[in-house]
Structure 1
């Protein structure tokens, strides 16, 4: 069978983003900053690719992963909504860390 996939640089950037998120969360855990939030972020960061990969295995021929995720989101699939919410959560987590107020 033939499936399309996203370009390699997209996957490299995506997994670097996830790995750096896990690294930042581990750093926050070790320094006792936002402990519960960092622990939750690690769990979400590990679960998002697992859920996305497992559900993308059944995608239609000729669709890449992003197209399939968007089509399933429009169909109302719960897993696609969880992946989108998880990615948005990680972006908010990064914004909280990068743009935190200094006291």
Structure 2
């Protein structure tokens, strides 16, 4: 049997996969852009808290955020307990 390329509306079968892949890649890049933008805003907010002398303190309960948390997430604005409560509330 001869191997024929099937063309439907000008798109070869392999091209459909490429188009779908490109669409998924575009959505992923868009999502990463939003995440990076949000992270940058959080970093800017942390820098403002440093200037105000409020860095390292939870914005909810006002207690000191543990050093280990700040080392892991330097722009953290909530202690672990308040963050956990916030996540449970927003489920």
Normalised by the length of structure 2, the TM-score is 0.36
Q: Which has the higher helix share?
A: 1
Normalised by the length of structure 1, the TM-score is 0.32
